[in-house]
Amino acid sequence: MNKKTLNKRRTSSYKIFDNAVKRLEKVKEKAKSLGIFVDDRKLLECSECGLMEDIDINGRLLTVFEKAPDKDTGLRFEEIKNSKTFRCPNCGKVVSGKQELLNDIETNNWR
Ligand SMILES: [Zn+2]
């Protein structure tokens, strides 16, 4: 195989990969629009009121309280800083999507 053919093959492999990534992104967007949990963050839980995210058997994201773990409240955590910070739709507490809950000072700022 000469160099030209090799380069052509590399370019077409890259295009195939690139197209696959683009298609995957579209699938991800579609799934998200259907309420399916596709993010790679941890599930959120509010330490203030106990509202927590869960995923049903169909992969759909829902929120429940511990006392009624099978009943979707219909509430959804609101994303406020590039998927890193969320606001509890029930009590308003700011919850970090990454690790721990933010400290109380930051939580009280928005109120
Ligand atoms: Zn809460």
Instruction: Tell me the pLDDT tens digit for each residue of 38-56.
Output: 877 889 999 999 999 999 9
Give the 3-state secondary structure of residue 53.
strand
Separation of CA 32 and ligand 1 centre (Å): 23
Separation of CA 70 and ligand 1 centre (Å): 18
pLDDT at 107 over 80: no
Token pair 């969320």 is found at 86
Separation of CA 26 and ligand 1 centre (Å): 32
63 or 111, which is more confident: 63
Separation of CA 69 and ligand 1 centre (Å): 15
**pTM more than 0.85:** no
Q: Which amino acid is at 28?
A: K
What's phi and psi for 64, nearest 5 deg?
-140, 165
Q: What is the pLDDT of residue 9?
A: 82
Separation of CA 59 and ligand 1 centre (Å): 23
CB atoms within 10 A of CB 51: 22
